[in-house]
Copies of this chain bind each other. A is one copy, B any other.
Amino acid sequence: MRQKPTLKIIAKELDVSVSTVSKALRDSKEISDETKEKVRAFAKLYNYKPNNIALSLKNKKTKTLGVIIPEIVHHFFTTVISGIEDYANSHGYNVIVGLSNESFDKEVINLEMLANGSIDGFIISVAKETLALKDYHHLFETIDQGIPIVMFDRVLDEIICDKIVVDDIATSRKAVQKLIDSGAKKVGIITTEDYVSVGRLRTKGYVEALQFNNINLDENLILKIEDNNKPQDELLHLETQIKNYLKHNEIDAIFAVNELYAITAMKAARELGYSIPQDIQFVGFTDGVLSKHAFPPLTTVSQHGKAMGSQAAKLLINRLESTDETEDENYKTVVVETDIIERETTLNSNES
């Protein structure tokens, strides 16, 4: 095992001072070409690379971003990370990932661990539990310490910072409109409880779309999935809730606020003898592997997670590197476009 060379070692070896070596390697004009050459050759030979930690301590910046998400085994978050990585890496930044597992405490711990010098800024989508508790002190504190935060997907009006969102309301309106245009008369929604902001907004879009088409709102057609937070029987729970809902209502189209709800509902519908899309149409939210490979392939609105991720990284890095004091207050929230990807769970408008 060969130990890593340091400036000190090189300096001693070449019988010059540490600062000379440092300057030579950074091509300072204070140093003679001759010395530069000598130092560079030696450095290359011994494969010298500056120590990141020392640089971080010196510069008070680590060139790494902290990403905190509720869950990594989840296609949407995973695409966002890949967008972040992409942008960050190509701009010289690394990415530390912290998982909250939807737990408030873990979110706080992760934030605090990383806030002590490990990262320059955060990209975060808050845990459900945090949303439920409405306790945001950890976020306020890190901003107060001068560490910028970019929120995405699950964002908070209370926190003043850069944000990346999807226009949930407009997108849902669009999705529901699609269903109506394809001939659906009784469209239902499978959504989350209202404390999950994205669920609430998507429900709102659903309601607006109905109003716009002069369709009376039937509260029974809104299924809010109770999240019991016990992964083991969650799926079963989900299935029974959906099956009951389908049995007790006359529905010819369903808008589901995520893939899993959509897929589970399709399965339930199939088991109840419906054929898709003739008897009942489906549109999901968030395009992922499940949608593409479902049977039949699910029409879904794509959130462009990768774009959200790189946008988030871009906003954060810009803020970190901006020396412009006036920009300090100028927080943006960028809305990323969504598309509906038509697959085989919806009818064409003219077929209806």
Contact A145 B1 (CB under 8 A): yes
For A73, what are the chain B residues with a Cβ–Cβ distance below 8 Å? 75, 78-79, 82
Residue of B nearest to A56 (CB): B53
For A45, what are the chain B residues with a Cβ–Cβ distance below 8 Å? none
Given the contacts A72-B85, A81-B72, A98-B94, A145 and B295 also touching, CB distance less than 8 Å: no
A3 at the interface (CB under 8 A from B): yes
Residue of B nearest to A106 (CB): B89
Whole-angstrom distance between the Cβ of A236 and the nearest chain B Cβ: 12
Contact pick for A57, options B53, B72, B95, CB 8 Å: B53
Q: How many angstroms from the CA of A259 to the CA of B15 in the assembled complex?
A: 60
How many residues does chain A have at the interface if contact means C-beta atoms less than 8 Å apart? 55
Which residues 1-42 in A have Cβ within 8 Å of B in the complex?
1-4
- Interface segment among A114-122, A128-136, A330-338: the answer is A114-122
Contact A82 B94 (CB under 8 A): no
Q: How many angstroms from the CA of A172 to the CA of B312 in the assembled complex?
A: 42
Given the contacts A1-B144, A72-B85, A49 and B112 also touching, CB distance less than 8 Å: yes
Q: How many angstroms from the CA of A177 to the CA of B115 in the assembled complex?
A: 52
Contact A145 B97 (CB under 8 A): no
A216 at the interface (CB under 8 A from B): no
Contact A118 B52 (CB under 8 A): yes
Oligomer: number of copies: 2
- Interface segment among A151-159, A198-206, A249-257, A286-294: the answer is A286-294
Whole-angstrom distance between the Cβ of A105 and the nearest chain B Cβ: 12
Contact pick for A117, options B54, B106, B289, CB 8 Å: B54
A222 at the interface (CB under 8 A from B): no
Contact B99 A85 (CB under 8 A): yes
A146 at the interface (CB under 8 A from B): yes
Proximity bits, A260-296, B CB within 8 Å = 1, else 0 = 1001100100100000000000000000011001110
Other than A51-B116, A54-B57, A89-B98, give 14 A-B pairs with Cβ distance below 8 A: A2-B144, A2-B145, A4-B145, A49-B116, A64-B118, A73-B78, A73-B79, A73-B82, A85-B98, A85-B99, A89-B99, A97-B97, A270-B295, A289-B289
Q: What are 23 A-B pairs at a CB distance below 8 A? A: A1-B144, A3-B146, A52-B116, A52-B118, A53-B53, A53-B62, A53-B117, A53-B118, A57-B57, A73-B75, A73-B82, A75-B289, A78-B78, A81-B97, A85-B98, A94-B98, A95-B98, A96-B96, A96-B97, A97-B97, A267-B293, A289-B289, A290-B293
| A interface residues with partner B (beta carbon < 8 Å) | 1-4, 47, 49-54, 56-57, 62, 64, 72-75, 78-79, 81-82, 85, 89, 94-99, 106, 109-110, 112-118, 141, 144-146, 260, 263-264, 267, 270, 289-290, 293-295
Q: List the 5 closest A-B pairs by CB distance, nearest first.
A: A295-B295, A53-B117, A51-B117, A52-B117, A1-B146
